Amino acid sequence: MKAGFYPKMAVSGMRKNGRLYVPYIATCILMVSVFYIMHLLGFSNILEGFAGAGTARDMLRLGTVVMAVFGTIFLFYTQSTLIKGRFKEFGLYSVLGMNRRNLGKIIFFETLITWFTAVTGGIAIGIGLSKLAELGFRKMIGIGSSYKFIISWQSILTTVIVYSFIFFLIFLNAARKVRFSRAINLIHSDKTGEKPPKANWFIGITGLLIMLSGYVIALKIEQPLSALIWFFVAVILIIIGTYITLIAGSVLLCRILQKNKKYYYKTNHFVSVSSMAYRMKRNGAGLASICILLTMVLVIMSSTSSLYLNREEVLHNHYPRQINCSANNYGFSEEYEKTASKLEDEIIKKTNEFGTEAKDIISISYCDISGYFENGKLNVDINPLEMTTTIDYDNVAVAYFISLEDYNGLTGKEEVLSNGEVLVAVNGNLPFENSISIGSETFKVAKKISSNEGNLKNIGMNGLVSSLIIVTDDFNGVASRFKDISDYRGEPMLVWEWKFAFDTGLDESQEQEFNNRLRSYIRDELYTGDFYLVRSECRSEQRDDFVKTFGGLFFLGILLSVIFLVSCVLIIYYKQISEGFEDQSRFGIMQKVGMTKEDIRNSINSQMLTVFIIPIILACIHLATVLPIVHKLLMLFGHNNVPLLLISAGICVLVCGIFYAAIYKVTSNAYYKIVA
């Protein structure tokens, strides 16, 4: 054969099957371009020299890895669907004398052409859009614009290498499928279908139970630390359960609809239900894939958008005042109160010397000890290494001891306690009655109070784990009872902490200048080595880091959501096209026996509505179920604005629903044009 025979056959086959190849190549180009942009922003020196940009770059580097993994999986899935649509054509080639080696060469050149088009087109578009993406990214993370245009040869080389490897694997997979298929099977591949399986209630119920177990985990989690550990377990269970439930559920749904004679024996329902029954298993797998992709988009956009929009509130939660000073030390000393007072006096003196004054002061001094809460008692003598497989992180808790005087000062109240009584505030699910035990010490609870009263919310870890705030009128006496308790390493478990925050009324530049001086003064003169850590931070200095971190997450969320949505569209499109070709002959027969084009359209609408409404409804259920655990994860960043998260989720559902409806309309028209 002539040297150009196989390339010409490849081009001819791709041109004849343009309805399959055009969207596939377009998706490949999109994925290559997004990968190039992510790699450019994450690995080049575009953001060099900007404070706090390192975190945002790390996120994009992680996103680059995610894109490579997802691209491999998704393009495998898509190309498998595409090559199946060519089986009949390859079967005819076999009948005409081509062997499997010849077919492999055609597939090789088709893959080579697709690779070359995708890589060159993707890199060209990526280069063209890289500046726009860079400006958008800079805007989100609060960095000034730069009009210098950069082409990264490192990013180009990495993109070529990664997608060359992906397409090589795709070629091997396609060649394998053709090599191990007989010519007669290839010719009749569009008529093989699936044997209608029996409705397996056991598999369906098992899948539902797996999915519900993921729901239970997502709803049961109380604290962010547990959410961090159990989130991926819940997600995996929900994904597995979704696939099993929808695969088995599609079988059950068809059986139920077929048994309902009033529904089944109607013109617009009979053909659609019969068609669904013909490919039950693939229906379930395809719908599950669509559902999971939609859920990923909803979760990613809901969380990252609410985090980005709430960045200023999160910043204020972490840094309640312009200047935020702190110190801590292990163990107990009766001198801590004097030390705190001395530190405050010196800082106020330094503030006055700078020509300003400390306003709206928050001053807190407390001791804390951590442990494991069970049966109304905080056990502080446990070894976490011995409980790695049994520990429930929702029961990990910290007890904070503060004086009654400080409590009244923080809340503006005038509480009075009798000897031995305490006030207790709880953050988390830590049940107790009229008394509470910390280690071997038991305290009588005079009253339960709120942990969000006044400035009391500035104590501790801001909800990362469960906590108890114990107010006592004998602070030194109570704290000293825990001074001899050590952890498994022999270090004191009792920790003294001091927080001192205030506003200055200075603008951001003056505020940062003052904080730099104060930080040097603390390091050089106030810090004597008696403390584990003494530091001073200003809010405006940290704002850049917050904006860059949350902006980077939001930007990454947008890019990944675009890819997931395009992938979802492609799955729906190929599902419609492949099923359209399979149903073409059936609708042709139905037309010969009197079925009109209007009946065909009504039947198609019935089938589309029955099938495609399931993924979006289930995706919304998944979102509603995992939002509580997403909220706990966002608390790790200091985000505790539930209404904003719900509003963001609602807007994302609305936008995604409109987009999904538009895709349904377009793809159902494509299906109609094939079968009509």
Q: Is 255 helix (H, G, I), strand (E, B) or coil?
A: helix
- Asked if residues 659 and 612 have their Cβ atoms less than 8 Å apart, the reply is no
Indicate the helix (H) or strand (E) that contains 497.
strand 495-503
Written in H, E and C, the secondary structure of 26-45 is: HHHHHHHHHHHHHHHHHHCC
Cβ proximity of 92 and 187 under 8 Å: yes
Name the 3-class secondary structure at 358.
coil
d(CA 204, CA 207): 5
Coil, helix or strand at residue 324: strand
pTM metric for this prediction:
0.76
**Residue 344: per-residue pLDDT:** 87
Please provide residue 532's backbone torsions phi and psi, each rounded to the nearest 5 degrees. -70, -40
Which amino acid appears at position 381 of this protein? D
Q: 398 φ, ψ to 5°? A: -125, 135
Task: Report the Cα 120 to chain-centroid distance in Å.
Answer: 31
Q: What local confidence, expressed as pLDDT, does residue 647 receive? A: 93
**In 3-state terms, the chain is what percent helix, strand and coil (to 5)?**
70, 10, 20
Which residues of the chain are under the pLDDT cut of 70? Answer: 1-3, 44-59, 81, 84-100, 140-148, 178-201, 225, 249-284, 382-391, 461-463, 527-533, 578-611, 671, 674-676
Token reading at 154? 């490192």
End-to-end CA distance of the chain: 40
Cα within 13 Å of Cα(355), Cβ side: 5
DSSP 457: G
The span from the CA of 534 to the CA of 539, in Å, is 17
3-state SS, residue 608:
helix
* HEC sequence for 43-72: HCCCCCCCCCHHHHHHHHHHHHHHHHHHHH
Output the CA torsion 538→544→546→547 (10° steps). 150
Domain ranges of the chain: 1-192, 323-505
Side chain identity at residue 298, one-letter code:
L
- Please give the pLDDT value at position 194: 47
SS3 454: helix
pLDDT of residue 11: 79
Give CA angle at 311 (306, 317), nearest 5°: 115
Grouping H, G, I as helix, E, B as strand and the rest as coil, residue 507 is: coil
pLDDT digits (tens, 9 = 90+) for 612-629: 788 888 899 999 998 888
556 contacts 60 by C-beta, under 8 angstroms: yes
Q: Where are the alpha helices (DSSP H) in 310-371?
A: 311-318, 336-353
What is the tens place of the pLDDT at every residue in 166-200?
Answer: 888 888 877 777 665 554 455 444 555 445 545 56
Residue 380 to residue 306: CA distance in whole angstroms: 37
Q: Residue 269's beta-bridge partner residues?
A: none
Q: How is residue 447 written in tokens?
A: 């009253």
